[in-house]
Every structure is written in structure tokens, then in C-alpha cells.
Amino acid sequence: MRDTGEAGDVAGTGDVAGTGDVAGTGDTRDASGMSMRPTWSGTGRTTSLSEMSGLGAPGSGPPLGLPPGAYAAALASLPGVGPGWLAELLANWGPEQAWVRALAGQVAPPRVPAQRGERNAGASGRVSDAARRMDVAGLWQRCLQRGIEVTWFGGQGYPSALASGPAPPGVLFSVGDIGWVERCPVVAVVGTRRCSPEGAATAYELARDLALAGVCVVSGLALGIDGAAHAGALSGFQQAGEVPPAASTVGVAASGVDVVYPRQHAALWRRVASAGAVVSETPPGSPAQPWRFPARNRVIAGLARLVVVVESHTTGGSWHTVDAALRRGVEVAAVPGSVHSPSCAGTNSLLRDGATPVRGAEDVLDALGLCASVGAPQAPPKGAGSPDGLDPIGPVEEKVLVALGWRPLCLEDVVERSGLPVGAVVVALERLEAAGAVVSEEGGWWSRRA
């Protein structure tokens, strides 16, 4: 099992058993929920009507007169509810009927093994208890106040890409316009949180050009590549002034859509929500538990027509996205990187295994079968000349460039490799930076630009 990526930070548990069965919750998720539709017999223990606290009998109209979304949200908020079971329930009965059945204790999550039938019966009781305690009106009020829309499997507005794939989320909560994933071709741009500056820059530029070309970029709102991809897409979307070919970006969160995680991305989160959409299958107000990250990654893969991994270590959360994409038959592409860089090891091994190489937005558009020339802007001319009007590339600068190579180096390394005095190197680097031949990154790292 690979490390769950983001999840490690949340609970400090490090390696959590993949898709479910997290210690402590125990009752929440079907371990194989991704690949296998759970079966539900529909013959749970019948609770006598007299026990049912004066609520409408099964089959009657909506018990409290709320819109169906409220019941879908309530069902998703029940403890011990997995996506497979939820999707099945909603597809078969619709939100209101499913809710009434949950109240009546007629349904139970199917994950308890058959030989422990008694426990299973107990589970249906637990669901009905929880359903009775649930403040559906309050939950719905919270959704309305925060502008959270609720769509469910089989309902209107549910992304068709997810509906046709395996293990669809039962209920999707969203802020913003979830319609972007229907109107535009969708590409997932994902990668490691511990990325190199070039990786972030690549993700940023790739997403920006894709947005300009009318491709909706989906990612996970995490630190590193994900954040850079969202920021790039927003930049492209704003650059184009929202004229039709440009597309916005959709973030898929592991926490509730009103719970910002990671906190550093609060501003980015707001901008994504207002320009595009933030989507999550986690009920509002819930924190990002470790097991939710792999589940989130399956949604990212499910929404996309193509998954581009920009940078990835040999283990990490990106691999969940790749696995989910492969399981769904979604094409996986990767950005090649240096063979020396640990943060490119994962992407390079993907390429060896046959992933489509991506050098820029054109390659992505090609892979999607779209016209590559749409909207992609010309790169700004480089080499504008140094400020003091001198030729930027003299013999010293040439030497510094050679010493720099194509890997980020700190000043000390450049000095050591070039054998030049510190003063000469810093002056040369300043000239080269002004000429656009090198860039300096946070932390004092210098890298060469192609």
C-alpha cells in the first residue's frame, strides 16, 4: 500500500490502509468500494411502525417537506455510509424514499460479513437511530447559507463522467458552478506536494494554457503541484476575460467543501470556488480524514478524460489517482523530468510504463484529440537584454550557465563548480536572470530556463 499522501499530515498516521477501514472509525467504508459494487438485499429487519416516532410511513410523501437535496445530504452525513451503498440506495429509491427507509431501519450498510448476520441487523438499527437523531432541516439550512449545492447519483446535475464510471460517489457537495465539468473537456493535473520549483512552474503553465484552450483543469487543492495547477488555470481563465473558449478549474476536496484544508490554501480555495467550483463527497463540516484522500483521488480520476501527473515521487497520493484512472480506463500522461530528481522518479517510471509524455498544453490537447492551436498564448520573448545594456551572455556568464546545468543548484554549488569567485558568480547570475536565462527560487535555488 502506498503512502496516502496528504493524509499523513492530518492524523499523523502515516500509512493508512488505502481506501477504507481506518482504525477508529471502523464502521465507515467498504474496503473494496472502488472496484466492486456492494450488494444490498433490501430485506433488513423491519421495524414496527409504532416505533417510528410519528413520522410518515414508508411510501408516503416527503416527511418534512424539504427538497430532495436535503435528504441526499442527510443520507451522506449518516455514520457508516460508504459511496457504493449510498449510490445504490439513491439510484433505486431517490433521496426521499431512501431517507424514509433509513429512518425505518430497513436499510443497512452491507459491509458486515455474512456470517455475522446479527451484527448486520444491528447496523440497520444504528443507521435508523442516527437518522432519527439527524437534524435534516439544520443541515439543509447550513448548505443553503453557505451556497452548497447537493447533487446525487441518478439526480440532475450529477456529472455524467462519474455516473458512468465504477464506484461513483453517492452524493456530491459543491460550491460554485459544477457545470464546468460538463461543458468543457476535463483534464486532471495532479502531482506531489513536495515538488520542485520547476514542477510547480510546469503545472502552473500547463494549467494556464489548458484553461486558455478551453480545457477545465481538475485537481485536488493540495499544496505543491495541485495548488500550482489551480493557480495557473485561474490565471489563464482571468487572462482570457472569461470569453467562451476559456475554461475555469474545479477543485476536488477531501474535507467538506466548507472546511478549508490545507489552511495555507484558503485564498486559493475561495478563488477556485468563485471562478469554478469546489467539489467534495464529504458532508459539509467534516474534516479531511486520512482515508478520504484516496477516495478524493478516485473522484478526480473519474471526472477527467486525461490525468496528467506533473511530478511524483515513487510513492505518494498521485499513485491513487493513477490507479483509479487506470481502473476506469482514463488515459494517464506524465511530464518527463530529470532522472536525478527524486520528485520526478514517479513520473519517469510512469513514462517507462507507457504513459503519454506531456511537454506542454499542446501534447495534452493532442491526446484529447483537440486542435492544438486553440488559444495557447505565445511565450513572452526572452532575452530582453540586461538593464545596463551589456550583452547578457559574456564568457563568465557562459561559464556560469555551464556550471548550472539543468538541475536547481544553490549559489554555493555554482561557485564550487565554476571555480569563479563569489562576486563574479553573483554578478553573472543577476545578468542572466535579467535576461531570462535563469530563475531564482525561494530558498536560494537557481535553475536554468530552456
Partner 1 sequence: MLATVASATLVGVDGRFVTVEVHVSTGVPSFQVVGLPDASCREARDRARAAVVSSGLTWPQTRLTVNLAPSGVRKAGPGLDLPIALGVLAASGQLKLSSLKGLAFVGELGLDGSLRKVPGVLPLVAAISEAGGGAGAGGPGAAPEVVVVPPDCAVEAGLLGRLEVRTSAHLRELVAALEGRGGWPPLPEAAGEPDDPAPPDLADVKGQALGRQALEVAAAGGHHLLLVGPAGAGKTMLATRLPGLLPELSTEEALEVAKIHSAAGLNVASGALCRRPPFRSPHHSASAVSLVGGGGARLRPGEISCAHNGVLFLDELAEFPGSVLDNLRQPLEEGRVVVCRASATVAFPARFMLVAAMNACRCGADGSPGSCRCPPAARARYVGRISGPLLDRFDLRVRVRCPEVDELLGSSVNVASGEPSLVAARRVEGARERARQRGVRCNAELPAVALSEVAPLSAGARRLLERRLREGRLSARGLDRSRRVALTVADLAGDDAPLREEHVLVALALRAPGILGHDAGEGAHWPTGETQRVRATAT
Contacts with 323 (C-beta within 8 Å, 6 or more apart), sequence order: none
The number of residues that bind partner 1 (CB under 8 A) is 57
Closer residue to partner 1, CB minimum distance, 169 or 176: 176
Give exposure, 255-290, as e/b (b: 16+ Cβ within 10 Å). Answer: bbbbbbbbeebeebbebbbebbbbbbbbbbebebbb
Which position among 21, 182, 331, 441 is part of the footprint of partner 1 (CB under 8 A)?
A: 441
Closer residue to partner 1, CB minimum distance, 143 or 403: 403
> Does 315 contact partner 1 by CB under 8 A?
no
> Does 223 contact partner 1 by CB under 8 A?
yes
Q: How far is the CB of 442 from partner 1 (least distance, A)?
A: 5
> Does 422 contact partner 1 by CB under 8 A?
yes
Q: How far is the CB of 419 from partner 1 (least distance, A)?
A: 5
Closer residue to partner 1, CB minimum distance, 93 or 261: 261
> Does 272 contact partner 1 by CB under 8 A?
no
> Does 197 contact partner 1 by CB under 8 A?
yes
Q: Ramachandran region of residue 154, left (φ > 0), alpha (ψ -120 to 50) or beta?
A: left
Q: How far is the CB of 229 from partner 1 (least distance, A)?
A: 10
Closer residue to partner 1, CB minimum distance, 318 or 341: 341
364-383: contacts with partner 1 (CB under 8 A)? none
> Does 305 contact partner 1 by CB under 8 A?
no
> Does 176 contact partner 1 by CB under 8 A?
no
Which position among 88, 149, 198, 323 is part of the footprint of partner 1 (CB under 8 A)?
A: 198
**Can you tell me the distance from the alpha carbon of 94 to that of 65, in angstroms, rounded to the nearest whole number?**
15
Which position among 154, 262, 283, 346 is part of the footprint of partner 1 (CB under 8 A)?
A: 262
Query: Which one, of 249, 270, 263, 268, lies nearest residue 147 by Cα?
Result: 270
> Does 411 contact partner 1 by CB under 8 A?
yes
Closer residue to partner 1, CB minimum distance, 298 or 313: 313
Which position among 228, 272, 304, 355 is part of the footprint of partner 1 (CB under 8 A)?
A: 228
**Can you tell me the distance from the alpha carbon of 402 to that of 266, in angstroms, rounded to the nearest whole number?**
41
**Can you tell me the distance from the alpha carbon of 22 to that of 217, in angstroms, rounded to the nearest whole number?**
31
Kindly state the greatest CA–CA separation across the chain. 92
Give exposure, 301-326, as e/b (b: 16+ Cβ within 10 Å). Answer: bbbbbbbbbbbbbebbbbbbbbbbbe
**Can you tell me the distance from the alpha carbon of 181 to that of 208, in angstroms, rounded to the nearest whole number?**
17
Q: How far is the CB of 210 from partner 1 (least distance, A)?
A: 15
Give exposure, 198-215, as e/b (b: 16+ Cβ within 10 Å). Answer: bbbbbbbbbbbbbbbbbb
Give exposure, 219-232, as e/b (b: 16+ Cβ within 10 Å). Answer: bbbbbbbbbbbbbb
Closer residue to partner 1, CB minimum distance, 4 or 282: 4
> Does 319 contact partner 1 by CB under 8 A?
no
Which position among 99, 204, 261, 293 is part of the footprint of partner 1 (CB under 8 A)?
A: 204
- Bridge-based pairing of strands 171-176 and 356-357 is unpaired
> Does 396 contact partner 1 by CB under 8 A?
no
- Bridge-based pairing of strands 409-410 and 445-448 is antiparallel
Q: Which three cell numbers stand for residue 258?
A: 466548507
| Cα-based distances in Å from 91 to 102, 125, 154, 181, 321 | 14, 22, 5, 21, 25
Closer residue to partner 1, CB minimum distance, 152 or 291: 291
Closer residue to partner 1, CB minimum distance, 6 or 149: 6
How many other β-carbons are positioned within 10 Å of the β-carbon of residue 235? 17
Stretch that binds partner 1, among 19-27, 267-275, 299-307, 394-402 (CB under 8 A): 267-275
> Does 88 contact partner 1 by CB under 8 A?
no
**Can you tell me the distance from the alpha carbon of 268 to that of 415, in angstroms, rounded to the nearest whole number?**
38
Stretch that binds partner 1, among 71-79, 100-108, 140-148, 337-345 (CB under 8 A): 337-345
> 225 and 193 in contact (C-beta within 8 Å)?
yes
Which position among 243, 395, 442, 450 is part of the footprint of partner 1 (CB under 8 A)?
A: 442
Which position among 159, 169, 199, 294 is part of the footprint of partner 1 (CB under 8 A)?
A: 199
> Does 343 contact partner 1 by CB under 8 A?
yes
> Does 268 contact partner 1 by CB under 8 A?
yes
> Does 391 contact partner 1 by CB under 8 A?
no
Closer residue to partner 1, CB minimum distance, 99 or 446: 446
Binding site for partner 1 (CB under 8 A): 8-9, 193-201, 204-205, 223-224, 227-228, 231-232, 234-235, 238, 262, 264-268, 271, 311, 341-344, 387-388, 408, 410-413, 415-416, 419, 421-423, 426-427, 430, 439-445
